[in-house]
Each structure stands twice: as C-alpha cells, then as structure tokens.
Chains A and B, each alone.
Chain A
Amino acid sequence: MTRRSTLAFVVVAAWLAAALGCASDEPPSKTAGVNRGGYYGGTIHSNSFPGTFGGGGYRVGRPAYRY
C-alpha cells in the first residue's frame, strides 16, 4: 500500500466513524446548541401518568370564572 493510498484509507475511515456518530442514538450534547435531538434534545418523561385516578379528587382544566 502506497503512502497516498494509506492516507486516503485514513480519511475514509475517519469519515465512516463520523458517519456512524452522526447516526447514533447517543445522548445529545447541549453544548452543540442544536444537536442530534434537534431542538428537543435531552430527556422527556415517559409514562408520566402511570395510573388512572380521579374520583372527584381533582379539579382540572381552565376554570370558567371572571378573572
């Protein structure tokens, strides 16, 4: 392998590594500004209402009264 082809191989290898990183699901970094999660990178709660509840114990939604 010539020196030129070796360098070309290194460049392509670096490109492949970058490509894999671009497509990965690793957590985004806020320091990147707009990151792999788009504008909504980071953690969002899942299963935030795990159960069913109520039974008159909660008054929810916009109240209808004169402010």
Chain B
Amino acid sequence: MTCWRAAGTAFALLTLACATSRIPEIPAVSAQPTGEVHPGKFVWMDLVTTDVGRAQAFYGPLFGWTFAGDPADYVKVLHGDAVVAGMVPRRPAVEGSAWIGNLSVVDVDAAAAEVERRGGEVETGPVDAPHRGRLAFVRDPIGASLLLVRASGGDPPDALPPHGRFLWRELWTQDPQKAIGFYVDLVGYQQDMIRLDDQRYRVLKRDGVPRGGVVQAPPEVKPQWLAYVRVKDPSETAQRAQALGARLVLQDEDAAILIDPTGAPFGVQRWDGQDEETTR
C-alpha cells in the first residue's frame, strides 16, 4: 500500500508541476481596466528570448529599464513605475529571439481562423490567459509572428510614449501588398502611402490613427514586425547598444535598427511628435 501511496503522490505532484510550468503568469496590458478597445493597435510587447538574464543586462542600462519576476517564467519590464513590456524565456530552447507584438483584435478566435484561412499558422491557442485576456500566437501569411489579443481589462489609451518606451511597429516583408491585404481584412487597416525624399513608406491606419508601417524588405531579411523604442538620440543609443553587445544593422539620421545580444532585432527612433497631439 505504501508503494501505491508514494506513486499516487508522485503522480499528483508531477501533474501539478507540468500544469504550472505550462501556464506562465503574464500581466494585463493595462495597469488599470480601461474598457477601451482599439483594433489594430499594438498594445503590448514581449521579448521571447533564449537568454533572459543577458537581455536584462543589455536593456537595463540601455533604456533605464528595471525588472521584476522570475527569469525562468516571466519578467516584467518597468520604466519608472510603469510595467511596459515583458520578457519570456524561450521554451523549448530552440533557435530564435524576438520582440513579439500583441495586436488588439475584436475577436481572437475569428482572427486566428482568418490567419489559417489565408495561409498563416496558429502556433498557440486561442486560449484565455489570466489577467491578459483571450490570445493566440500566430504566424501571419507572410511569415511574421505576432500575438493576437482581446485584452480582458481593455486596451491602453492612446498617448505619447516617453523616451524609453515603445513608439512604433513596422512590418518588414518581401510582399507588402499581400501583407497589407491581409491586415486590412484582419483589423480594418487603411493604407496611406507617404513619399519622403524620393522614398515610399506605407502607413497602416485604423480610424485615421496611425498604427504601424510597412517596409519592402530585402531578400535576406525574414518577415517580421519590428518594434521601435523612442529615444532622444538614436546615434548615441546605437553606440551604447553596440558597447553592450548589440549589432548595428541600419542607421539613419533619426532611427537605427539593432540586434540585441540574444538575437532579437529592435529599433530606436527620435520622435518629436510635433505634428500631433498624441502618438499611438
């Protein structure tokens, strides 16, 4: 009988351990419930990384971020007193680190079904995540990863982000028209083509509010949503990032693209916001 009891206890403990290890605690996208829904807005960023400790050692001094939480489970990224992002250890420990944007949608299940119908893949979910809401991790039809979310507490209100917080998201793809067509149908974006210095830049808007950009990527760049952090001086930030172990990919007067020491791309950009009351 002793053997049975021991085996039963062990089995119960194992089941509990497996269950808890599969459901990391992730925070809500808004500290306080807002009741707002902004389809097409990126409402959160999580760094899925092969090395949370190394990522903390990099982003902490670069942006003045601090961290709270278990590196083996989920780490909250704080800027001042505000929780502004998260870091997640890559499990299983396979290749790849990336900042994953959480895109607000009205109906996660319907959006995930649309992803599959258009040739993308649903990697996880749809599932209800405590605090955060209904979500699904997907790869869109052009191959870019993102999390679809209907935040249980509502989306954060639009506001100009201070330096050190996420400012902009930009889709890099070899097929902008296919990508734009998909996102227009998914979240109701409208496309706005801008010409600046003989270069074209596509802006995705929803209800007149700019939510992201689209860049024609060179063949060697894999499809992805790239996130930009607002900084005062992108050149100076890029120099410090390289000193901390990052690799510089591209730099112009107002922005730089870097690869962090764990392999995740990100951008930094100067933004004065003088043309608008708010940046979303």
Q: Which residues of A contact B (CB under 8 A)?
A: 4-5, 7-8, 11-12, 15, 18-19, 22, 24-28, 30, 32-54, 56, 58-67
| Chain A neighbourhood of B121, CB < 8 A | 42
Number of interface residues of B (CB under 8 A): 86
Apart from A34-B127, A54-B251, A61-B213, list 8 A-B contacts with CB within 8 A.
A30-B124, A33-B124, A39-B135, A40-B123, A43-B94, A59-B197, A62-B269, A63-B203
Cα A62 to Cα B203 in complex, Å, equals 8
Q: Verify B257–A4 contact, CB threshold 8 A.
A: no
The 6 A-B pairs of least Cβ separation, nearest first, read: A42-B123, A8-B3, A44-B96, A25-B92, A61-B255, A62-B168
Q: Which residues of B contact A (CB under 8 A)?
A: 3-4, 6-8, 10-11, 14, 17-18, 21-24, 26, 46, 48, 88, 90-98, 100, 121-125, 127, 129, 135, 137, 139, 143, 145, 147, 167-168, 170, 192, 194, 196-197, 199-201, 203, 205, 208-210, 213, 215, 218, 220-224, 228, 247-252, 254-255, 257, 259, 263, 265, 267, 269, 271-276, 279
- Smallest Cβ-Cβ distance to B272: which chain A residue: A64
| Chain A neighbourhood of B98, CB < 8 A | 44-45, 48
| Chain B neighbourhood of A65, CB < 8 A | 194, 196, 275
| Chain A neighbourhood of B201, CB < 8 A | 59, 63
Task: Say yes or no: A11-B96 contact (C-beta < 8 A), given A34-B22, A40-B137, A48-B224.
Answer: no
Cα A34 to Cα B137 in complex, Å, equals 10
| Chain B neighbourhood of A45, CB < 8 A | 96, 98, 143, 145, 222-224
Q: Verify A46–B95 contact, CB threshold 8 A.
A: yes
Q: Verify A54–B208 contact, CB threshold 8 A.
A: no
| Chain B neighbourhood of A15, CB < 8 A | 7, 10-11, 14
| Chain A neighbourhood of B265, CB < 8 A | 48-49
Task: Say yes or no: A8-B7 contact (C-beta < 8 A), given A33-B127, A45-B222, A53-B250.
Answer: yes
Quote the shortest CB–CB distance from A22 to chain B (angstroms).
4
Q: How would you classify the secondary structure of chain A's contact residues: helix, strand, loop or mixed?
A: loop
Cα A61 to Cα B166 in complex, Å, equals 12
- Smallest Cβ-Cβ distance to B92: which chain A residue: A25
| Chain B neighbourhood of A48, CB < 8 A | 98, 221-222, 224, 265
| Residue in B139, B167, B215, B263 whose CB lies within 8 Å of A60 | B215
Q: Verify A60–B14 contact, CB threshold 8 A.
A: no
